[in-house]
Amino acid sequence: MKAHRRQRLIIILVLVALAGVAIGLTLYSLRANMNLFYSPTQISAGEAPPGRSLRAGGVVRDDSVQRDQQTLDVTFTVTDFEEDVPVHYRGILPDLFREGQGVVIVGTLNERGWLEASEVLAKHDENYMPPEVDGALKAAEARKSIPSSGAVTGGNDERI
């Protein structure tokens, strides 16, 4: 084998090895850092694993926001108008957080079924509904309009 050919072969092998390592590491950390989205209905049905970071979303129920008088603790309820999930958060809520507004929450579910929020996202355009929340609301709507015939297929099929 000529010298430059061998060199080229080495280059290619190193490249392939590096790419392999990179893809492996990438997929590994992608798995470890994914947040799955759950709708309030899915959470009440016990589909969401407690203690793992997840995303949830829905509309903030009217008259549900309660602030602690001394600290920055706040509790509120998100709903898809079928099931409710109580949320606890400590800190400052975004400007567009409001009752009746669609929000996305990043957090973990504790044993009592509360969502401990680490982040509350309300989007920056008031006409804008986060797509996940929109999907969850439409799914709940659709289940309601079908008179309870046939088991509701839960799962991930939120898009109608």
Partner 1 sequence: MLIEILPEIGLYAMMLALAMALVQAIVPLAGSLTRRPLWMSYAGPMAWGQALFLLVAFVCLALGFLFNDFSVDYIAGNANSQLPWYYRLSAVWGGHEGSVLLWSMMMAFWGLAVSVFSRNLPRDMLARVLSVLGMINAGFLLFILATSSPFERILPAPPMEGADLNPLLQDPGLIVHPPMLYMGYVGFSVAFAFALAALMGGRLDAAWTRWARPWTNLAWAFLSVGIALGSWWAYYELGWGGWWFWDPVENASLMPWLAGTALMHSLAVTEKRGGFKSWTVLLAIVTFSLSLLGTFLVRSGVLTSVHAFANDPSRGTFILVLLGLTVGASLTLYAFRAPRVKSPLGFGWLSRDAMLLFNNIVLLVMTVTVLLGTLYPLILDSLNMGKISVGPPYFNALIVPLTVALGLFMGAGPVTRWKQMTARELIKRLWLSAAVSLAVALMIPWLYDGAWSLPVSLGLLVAAWIVVPLAREPLILIRRFGLRGPGKLSRSHYGMVLGHIGMAVTIVGVTMVSNYDHADNVRMSPGRSVEVGGYSFTMTQLNETRGPNYLSDRATIRVTQGDRLVTLLHPEKRFFTTRRQAMTETALDNGLTRDLYVAMGEALDDGESWAMRIQVKPFVRWLWLGALLMAAGGILAVCDKRYRHRSRTRQTMEARA
Q: Which residues are at the interface with partner 1 (CB under 8 A)?
A: 4, 7, 11, 15, 18-19, 22, 25-26, 29-30, 32-37, 53, 55, 67, 69-72, 90-93, 95-96, 104, 106, 123-132, 135, 156-159
- The residues near 61 (Cβ < 8 Å, ≥ 6 apart) are 76, 77, 78, 79, 84, 99
DSSP-derived pairing of the beta strands 54-60 and 66-67: unpaired
10 vs 110 by CB, closer to partner 1: 10
144 vs 159 by CB, closer to partner 1: 159
Could you count the other beta carbons within 10 Å of the beta carbon of residue 65?
16
Query: Is 128 annotated to bind ligand?
Result: yes
Q: Supply 70's token pair.
A: 């001394």
- Amino acid identity, residue 25? L
Query: Is 4 annotated to bind ligand?
Result: no
Distance in Å, CB of 144 to partner 1, minimum: 21
Annotated binding site: 124, 128
